[in-house]
Every structure is written in C-alpha cells, then in structure tokens.
Structure 1
Amino acid sequence: MRWSLASLVLLTLSALPASTLTPQETCELCQVALRTVYGHFAANIPSKRKLVHQLKHECKRHFNYRRRCLLLMKVNYDMIFREMTDGSFRPMEVCLIMKECKPLDSPLSPEIIDPGQPEAFALVSSSNDNYDSSDD
C-alpha cells in the first residue's frame, strides 16, 4: 500500500509542468493567444459567446500557460471583446491591461506566430505578399 501511494505521488508530481514560465514567455503567450483568436475571426468578432468559446479553446492549447490563460480570459472577456471590436486591436495593449506584459516588453514580431494556426497568418503580411506586376 505504501509503495502504491508513493508511486501515485511521484506520478502526479511528474505530470506537473517541470518549469514555470518567465515573464517574457508569459507576455509572448498572452499575445499569441489573443492574436490567434483575433485572426480566427478575421478581425470580425461575431459575439461575446463565440469569443469566449474560442478564447477557451486557444488557452487549452498552451500547456504551461493553460490555467493562467483560462482565468485571465474568464475575468477579462468583456474588456477583450471591447478591444477586439473597436477597430484598433493590439494584443500587447490588452496583455498590458491584464498585467501579463510590462510596459518595456516588446510586442510580438510577425515571425513569432504559431504555424499550427493558419488563421494567425491573416493578420501578418510579409514582403512576399505584395506582388508588384510592374516587375514582369
């Protein structure tokens, strides 16, 4: 009985995340999550209900950030909805308001996006996206 209890405790501890996130990682994950959700809706958020559903889905994708993300989104979904629908959404500003980022942190560059989420690319243009027909 002792061995099985000890094994259960060890198994539980090994299932926990091995490391905590640095403040920079927390800031980046906050911005990635918000930008991915915004991109999913192509910058046209249909309703708070759908936004909350997509925020939860996105939070669950980030193992080490999951709990923190879900709690933040639950508490701040009204503010996130307002920011995403006012026409000038900036993930960094929302993450600053939620205190996931500090004023001296950098906004994400276009290179830092999750390739598993193709809708995130809709908000990022590269020099290759701009085709100039005068080159022909």
Structure 2
Amino acid sequence: MTEMLARLTVALAARYRVERELGAGGMATVFLAHDLRHERDVAIKVLHPDLGAALGAERFLSEIKTTARLQHPHILPLLDSGAADGLLYYVMPYVKGETLRARLERERQLPIADALRMAREVAGALDHAHKQGI
C-alpha cells in the first residue's frame, strides 16, 4: 500500500472506504472508493502532497471550483471535496467500464458511428465549459 493510499484510507475512514488506486498523473492520483453514507462507488482525486507543498494548492483548488460549476451530461459532477491529513481531494462518480485507450488498443479503430457520437459528446461538453468561461 502506498503512503498516500494509507493516509487517505485512515483520514477518510468515517466517510469512504478507499479500495485501490485507479491511475495517476503529474498533478494528482485517483482512487476507487466506496461512499459509506450513500452506498455507491466513487473516484477520489488527490493532489500529490509534494506538489501542493512546492507549488501551492491554488491550481487544484481552482480545478475543484471549476468542476463544481459545470453541470452537463458529459462532464462528471463534483460530489464532495475537502482536506484530510494534509491531503486535498475531491470526489466524483466512478464510471465503470472500459477506457477509450483500452478500447483503441483492443480494436485499433472505432466504428465511424461511435467516433462521431463521442466527438459530439466531447464537443458539447467543451462548448458548455467555454460558455461558463472555462
């Protein structure tokens, strides 16, 4: 168990049962967790502690505020956010299923109808975000 996973598991034990890491990027790590209050799976995005200490948490806090403002069928909503044991986090729904990357590795090429549908959905979400000033 990584140090961040262990810290998060203890810090959020009253509200979430943190299960495993889903993925990591340059700024944050995303974990699969179970929301104990609402009995649903969620994804918890956690700012890397060393990044927050070095650069400050302003960019991540801005991302939280931005996400909270966006209400669109193709943008995951913000469910919760906070700080616990020095870790900044926000919670969003967990979406089960295959990633686009995994599908492309498996199929190599999407059917045109699927590619067009996805492009329309992404474009609609981007249009909505742009209209919100993002």
TM-score, with normalisation over the residues of structure 1?
0.24
Of the two, which has the highest radius of gyration? 1
* Higher relative contact order, chain-length normalized (CA < 8 Å, sep 6+): 1
TM-score, with normalisation over the residues of structure 2?
0.24
Give 1 or 2: higher strand fraction: 2
